[in-house]
Amino acid sequence: MELPNHAKQILLQLNQQRAKGFLCDVIIVVENALFRAHKNILAASSIYFKSLVLHDNLINLDTEMVNPSVFRQVLDFIYTGKLLSSLDQSSEQNYSALLTAASYLQLHDLAALCRKKLKRSGGKPLPGKLSTSGPLSRLRHNNERLSSSTLTASHNHYILAPSDADQPDDGLRDKLSDDEMFIGSTAGKNGTCGSGSNGNLSNGLSGRETDLGLDLSKKSPPSAGTTTDALSPHSNSQGSPQSASVSTTNSASLDDSTTTLPSLDTTGPEPMELIPTPKAPEDSQAHPDAPPPRKSSRQVARKKEWPKREASGLKAEDHDPPLVNGVIMGPKEGCSSSGVGGDSRCSFPSDQSFQCKEEEEVGQNGQEHSDQSGHSDGESGGGGHHSANYVYRQEGFEPAFGDNLYVCIPCGKGFPSSEQLNAHVETHTEDELYIKEEVGAFVKEEEAEDLSAPVAPTTFGISEPRPFKCTVCSKSYKDPATLRQHEKSHWLTRPFPCNICGKMFTQRGTMTRHMRSHLGLKPFACDECGMRFTRQYRLTEHMRVHSGEKPYECQLCGGKFTQQRNLISHLRMHTSPS
């Protein structure tokens, strides 16, 4: 007995799931586009992918070997066994590019198919580099290049490019479907395949900023419950080709729910709902003792709480983000909140929100898009710029061509990109950037609050020498590095921009953490319920939910709390007159 169409049906299902991001557990970054896919499928298709997905959930492919348009076809092929070429894609050039990519990715069937096509059309099977150097040597070369960093400038993929000038060339964009959204690139107009290795995206950035080699990955703590932790994710395991720059979440499976871009504005028409997709059903089976779900729209609106969603019996696909063929939508040139035209649209409000038009076919229940607050946390009070000393993107900007959206507060000068702004900011001397105490209006609230904090904190009553004193606020620190770190908080500008939303940070670590929230990377998984967190501390807090531990006790009423913040808010209730 054999069902003749079984394999076909399964593949069809998988492809549909990919299109919706359902159960996707790996992100492939190609230049400026993110693709989501299933590790199993990739591994089954190519030894190369097999080696990559073994330990990694975020894979950066060499942009010299494959561009988003080509990879889209490759992925289609993997999932369908068909080469879906449109008119402009069926050219000889396209097959050459496909062949290059197929060779690089070790998709032998696809490579053979391309060769056949090229032969038929009289084209040379493998023009250029691959025929001479071969993919493997190329891979080795890449490996060397990439050994020092995962998302280095030369393969930086999370770059915001609000203006047209920053976008990849039209040729490439034309090849991309309307639904594929660039995260953007500051590589100027060098977004085409083959230009990615020059590290030329600095575009005026200072050296420090150009090297925003973000390893957004995070190793899951042992509690995340996998066995691969001990392995170095890139220990050249199995001698695998490692040309792809891989940012890994390692053992913490980057399940489908994590590979999302951030929040949405609700104002746009059919904003693309980049909610995390629900966890795989297996998870819920694996955690039968998971706490009862809180059924709520918040699950959708806040793009989290997968266990709840799955437990609620929600058909994940019904609410899955409208990923288009697994491509995670990022901002794209010309994005506007108006969402006109057939393109997926997105905008970059002053905070890290995205807003994208939802693809029609996935629109079904696309309803409740994330509430604005969901991702404007910490800024909601200020219309997007709650901190006066942010170098901010102008409120209500439309990413129209030519606008200088990034404004340097000290001098008021506008710049079309965060990078250019940063380059400019570097020209200010540090002295200029300090906020003098008398400029009270610019002291951000955190600092103001800190005034109540002890100036020279002691540890358990024992004074530690703190010889390094801040000249601005008189806080003192044990070492100069910490002092310098602190002093940055007084600067008018913040040296670390988010390449996706342009938000600025005083500390690289904070920015990196912020970037993880863009990408939905949640490496810390709860053993009990499978819920995932961006931070270890959150997981620790969360675990108290399961343990029932309530270490924070109100001295006034004896009430106990799992989280200190809740005790604090509780105490307010005691103290506030209302």
Partner DNA sequence: CTGGGGAGGGGGCCC
Partner DNA sequence: GGGGCCCCCTCCCCA
Is the CB of 168 or the CB of 271 nearer to DNA? Answer: 271
Is the CB of 147 or the CB of 569 nearer to DNA? Answer: 569
Task: Output the smallest distance, CB 280 to DNA, in A.
Answer: 17
Residues 321 and 318: their CA atoms lie apart, in Å, by 9
Instruction: Provide the β-strand partners of residue 558.
Output: none
Task: Output the smallest distance, CB 100 to DNA, in A.
Answer: 33
Residues 382 and 371: their CA atoms lie apart, in Å, by 16
Whether the Cβ atoms of residue 35 and residue 256 lie closer than 8 Å to each other: no
Other C-beta atoms within 10 Å of 31: how many?
A: 30
Instruction: Give Cα separations from 172 to 38, 92, 505 (angstroms).
Output: 25, 16, 32
Is the CB of 417 or the CB of 562 nearer to DNA? Answer: 562
Task: Output the smallest distance, CB 561 to DNA, in A.
Answer: 4
Is the CB of 17 or the CB of 489 nearer to DNA? Answer: 489
Is the CB of 89 or the CB of 489 nearer to DNA? Answer: 489
Other C-beta atoms within 10 Å of 221: how many?
A: 17
476: three-class secondary structure by DSSP: strand
Is the CB of 177 or the CB of 277 nearer to DNA? Answer: 277
Task: Output the smallest distance, CB 278 to DNA, in A.
Answer: 13
Other C-beta atoms within 10 Å of 486: how many?
A: 19
Is the CB of 375 or the CB of 393 nearer to DNA? Answer: 375
Residues 466 and 305: their CA atoms lie apart, in Å, by 43
Instruction: Give Cα separations from 177 to 85, 202, 325, 486 (angstroms).
Output: 12, 27, 10, 46
* CA 433 from centroid of its chain's CA atoms: 30
Residue-by-residue DSSP string for 46-113: -HHHHHHHTT-SEEEEPTTT--HHHHHHHHHHHHHSS----GGGSSHHHHHHHHHHHHHHT-HHHHHH
Instruction: Give Cα separations from 319 to 357, 367, 464, 537, 545 (angstroms).
Output: 15, 9, 54, 29, 27
Is the CB of 106 or the CB of 493 nearer to DNA? Answer: 493
Task: Output the smallest distance, CB 180 to DNA, in A.
Answer: 23
Task: Output the smallest distance, CB 542 to DNA, in A.
Answer: 4
Is the CB of 273 or the CB of 351 nearer to DNA? Answer: 351
Task: Output the smallest distance, CB 485 to DNA, in A.
Answer: 6
Nearest-10 Cα torsion for 99, 100, 104, 107 = -10
Whether the Cβ atoms of residue 90 and residue 60 lie closer than 8 Å to each other: no
Residue 246's H or E segment, with its range, is strand 245-247
Task: Output the smallest distance, CB 469 to DNA, in A.
Answer: 12
Task: Output the smallest distance, CB 19 to DNA, in A.
Answer: 24
Task: Output the smallest distance, CB 202 to DNA, in A.
Answer: 16
Task: Output the smallest distance, CB 476 to DNA, in A.
Answer: 9
Report helix angle 92-105 to 108-120, nearest 10. Answer: 160
Residues 271 and 301: their CA atoms lie apart, in Å, by 12
Is the CB of 81 or the CB of 225 nearer to DNA? Answer: 225
Task: Output the smallest distance, CB 562 to DNA, in A.
Answer: 4
The residues near 294 (Cβ < 8 Å, ≥ 6 apart) are 305, 308
Is the CB of 350 or the CB of 420 nearer to DNA? Answer: 350
Is the CB of 405 or the CB of 473 nearer to DNA? Answer: 473
Instruction: Provide the β-strand partners of residue 328.
Output: 34
Residues 171 and 181: their CA atoms lie apart, in Å, by 15
